[in-house]
Chains A and B, each alone.
Chain A
Amino acid sequence: MSTYRTEIMLCGGTGCRASGSEEVKEALKAELERHGLNREIRVIETGCNGFCAQGPVAIVQPEGIFYEKLKAKDIPYLVEEHFLKGRPVKKFFHKDQASAETIPVMGDIPFYSRQQLIVLKNRGAIDPEQIDEYIAGDGYMGAGKALLEMTPEEIIEEVKKSGLRGRGGAGFPTGMKWDFAHKAAGDTKFVLCNADEGDPGAFMDRSVLEADPHAVLEGMIIAAKAVGARQGYIYCRAEYPLALRRLDIAISQAREYGLLGEDILGSGFDFDLEVYRGAGAFVCGEETALMHSIEGKRGMPRPRPPFPANQGLWKKPTVLNNVETYANVAQIITNGGDWYASIGTEGSKGTKVFALTGAVRNIGLVEVPMGTSLREIIFEVGGGIPKKRKFKAVQLGGPSGGCVPMSHIDTPVDYESIAKVGAIMGSGGMIVMDDRTCMVDMARFFMDFIQDESCGKCTPCREGTKRMLEILNKITSGQGEQGDIELLEELSDMIQDSALCGLGQTGPNPVLSTLQYFRDEYEAHVFEKRCPAKRCAELLDFVVDPERCKSCGLCFKNCPAGAIQWKKKEPAVIDKSKCIKCMSCIVNCPFDAID
């Protein structure tokens, strides 16, 4: 075995792959071999590092140097300069967008240094396809302790002490859920993992599955012991091929070591897992629909009670938890519930992973202690709003959630505080919006999604959201009428009260939330036929204001229809007969000169 002096931890998560990390990996291996360095330097493909918008990223250990936006054609130079001659290449260092300074060492980059990693502890640091590397970090020690030294009651007690709440969005106390299932009668019980992650813009679970799949397996083994289950399923959406592959590899490696199967670690406890590929619908992330899907039926929810803890999959007692919830469990058992409870707030313990996207500089995956303020997440970890625009609102919780405006930016992120301002924590999607986002259009986008994904079983959701979408489309295309806004409110209340499952019950949330804080925007659309954010194409005139136009020519250069006439030092003029209302001119104008 030769000793490596340097390891290049290259991110192979889906985000970085989409930016070309596979080609970078091939180029790195080829160049290292060409220089004869491949016996002292190795390339390890890790899971998602979280800084997806800057991908492909790589971390060089032991120096901890962070490289971003690597391209295959840059690799020969990089290998020669850094790995042969020992001179790290500044050109590929992280450049802080706000201060424009380059930061070579990962630990100094604010995006990373301000996070506290529990769920994401292994990200970018291990090869997720090598079970030994997971074990190096105390992997499966928690399962060992739970199986060999603890009773189910003791495990449940520890989880209750930790204060862990379900990370899928509802925040139900995990220990309590396991207790119900543990006390339920019956010999056959199931442990399920919800890896469907349907919220648009959310990729927390994807990252955990790609970077550290064993953490989820270990959590499920511990849950199975607590509850008395012998079989588990991971319901993973089919749109995550890399996560599915990593899960398959992890499960087969765990089985090889006897960590899944019969008599695990000699404890006498049997437990095995299977992966079930998702059926392609958002509603399958709803617990009862998910179970129907595994049973081979169409993913449609059913009324509760009976709750899954008593009657779930195939009517047996079932525990269903989110990927992120399970990823916390092993550390809670090894370090103790009190350790976990020491982080976070009174009602919301531990950390939470957020997918920070939208109009923010540092787009990526962020894990922070509960109780951190939105301001800190968006402006310090996230680096603030780019292009000199102003913060308008942040959408939390995807299509079930709500928006939080500037007036509440100091709200700490925990279940209760967020609910008080009219939003929900949700599974972790956090979409930042600037002053160019139309809140009505945003609500319409989520309602469109809900309508698409409605399973159709109950009338309030199937018909109600359809009508809500119709009204929203009317409003954003300039045909809003007196009474439309009130009708939206009435429909929302009715659907919330009577829909069968969470999809319908929370579907109206974005509309209600935007009405609460941005009613004036709705009214401008309806009564003035005006879109204050200049986003709804039907409400725009597409006329250049010669006073504001600085003759920069950007609109002209970006118009795909050749509809703009522009000469240097003269204001641009838009020919309406050719204009296709694609918005390219407005989006690119740095002086806000087009109405």
Chain B
Amino acid sequence: MAKLTIEDLKKIKEKAKKSTSLRDGEATVKITVHMGTCGIAAGAREVMDALLEELTESGRDDIRVVNSGCAGMCSSEPNVTVEMMGQDPVIYQHMDRNKMRQVFKRHIMHGEVQTDFALARMP
């Protein structure tokens, strides 16, 4: 490996910061994929996979993806809750791979809530 200069060091720092960003607690978006037994049975796994693929492609390091248990609305699973800083949370229902990609590209990247899939805004 070639000897580094200060510039190289800074580049490594930027790249490494992205992969360790989960630990420093700074995020602007949190996406929760509900994966209780009902969610998993209804296909939440596929939704999660699609979401993670979109996330990787976008290269963003300020988005957190967490899973959680059942929210109680089992009949509308798979459900996904999107919380963006400064906005009300939005619950999306009956999600699948395609809808997840759409929500990511339009809502998370461009701020347009996809009201067709949304349940309601949680107060």
B36 touches A135 (CB 8 A): no
B4 touches A258 (CB 8 A): yes
Contact of A257 among B1, B15, B35 (CB under 8 A): B1
Interface residue total, chain A, C-beta cutoff 8 A: 41
Known: A84-B35, A85-B37, A86-B68. A265 touches B6 (CB 8 A): yes
A87 touches B69 (CB 8 A): yes
The minimal Cβ–Cβ distance linking A86 to chain B, given in whole angstroms, is 4
Known: A62-B25, A259-B4. A86 touches B69 (CB 8 A): yes
B36 touches A126 (CB 8 A): no
The minimal Cβ–Cβ distance linking B49 to chain A, given in whole angstroms, is 8
Interface bits B12-47 vs A (CB < 8 Å: 1, else 0) = 110111011011010100001111110010000000
Question: Which residues of the other chain, B, contact A61 by a CB distance below 8 angstroms?
Answer: 22-23
Give the dominant DSSP class at A's interface.
Answer: loop
Within 8 A of A (CB), among B51-94: 52, 55-56, 64-69
Known: A62-B66, A86-B69, A132-B16. A6 touches B22 (CB 8 A): yes
B34 touches A144 (CB 8 A): no
Question: Which residues of the other chain, A, contact B68 by a CB distance below 8 angstroms?
Answer: 86-87
Interchain CA distance A265-B36 in the complex, whole Å: 52
* Closest A residue to B30 using CB positions: A62
Interchain CA distance A83-B65 in the complex, whole Å: 12
Cβ-based interface call for B2 (8 A): yes
B3 touches A132 (CB 8 A): no
Within 8 A of B (CB), among A43-88: 61-64, 83-87
Cβ-based interface call for B122 (8 A): no
Question: Which residues of the other chain, A, contact B2 by a CB distance below 8 angstroms?
Answer: 258
Known: A6-B66, A144-B6. A64 touches B25 (CB 8 A): yes
The minimal Cβ–Cβ distance linking A156 to chain B, given in whole angstroms, is 22
Known: A5-B65, A141-B9, A266-B3. A62 touches B36 (CB 8 A): no
Interchain CA distance A272-B3 in the complex, whole Å: 14
Interchain CA distance A266-B7 in the complex, whole Å: 11
A257 touches B22 (CB 8 A): no
Interchain CA distance A402-B84 in the complex, whole Å: 55
Known: A85-B37, A86-B35. A4 touches B3 (CB 8 A): no
Interface residue total, chain B, C-beta cutoff 8 A: 35
A84 touches B4 (CB 8 A): no
B17 touches A265 (CB 8 A): no
B13 touches A138 (CB 8 A): yes
* Closest B residue to A87 using CB positions: B69
Known: A3-B56, A7-B22, A133-B16. A257 touches B4 (CB 8 A): yes
Question: Which residues of the other chain, B, contact A133 by a CB distance below 8 angstroms?
Answer: 16, 20
Cβ-based interface call for B103 (8 A): no
Question: Which residues of the other chain, A, contact B36 by a CB distance below 8 angstroms?
Answer: 85-87
Cβ-based interface call for B48 (8 A): yes
Interchain CA distance A138-B19 in the complex, whole Å: 14
A5 touches B52 (CB 8 A): yes
Question: Which residues of the other chain, B, contact A2 by a CB distance below 8 angstroms?
Answer: 52, 56
* Closest A residue to B37 using CB positions: A85
A136 touches B22 (CB 8 A): no
Cβ-based interface call for A295 (8 A): no
A132 touches B12 (CB 8 A): yes
Interchain CA distance A266-B12 in the complex, whole Å: 17
Q: 5 closest pairs, A vs B, by CB?
A: A258-B3, A86-B67, A136-B16, A86-B68, A5-B65
| Chain B interfacial positions (CB closer than 8 Å to A) | 1-6, 9, 12-13, 15-17, 19-20, 22-23, 25, 27, 32-37, 40, 48, 52, 55-56, 64-69
Of the A-B pairs whose beta carbons lie under 8 Å apart in the complex, a sample of 12, sorted by A's number, is A3-B56, A6-B66, A9-B23, A40-B52, A62-B66, A64-B25, A132-B12, A136-B16, A136-B20, A137-B20, A256-B1, A257-B4
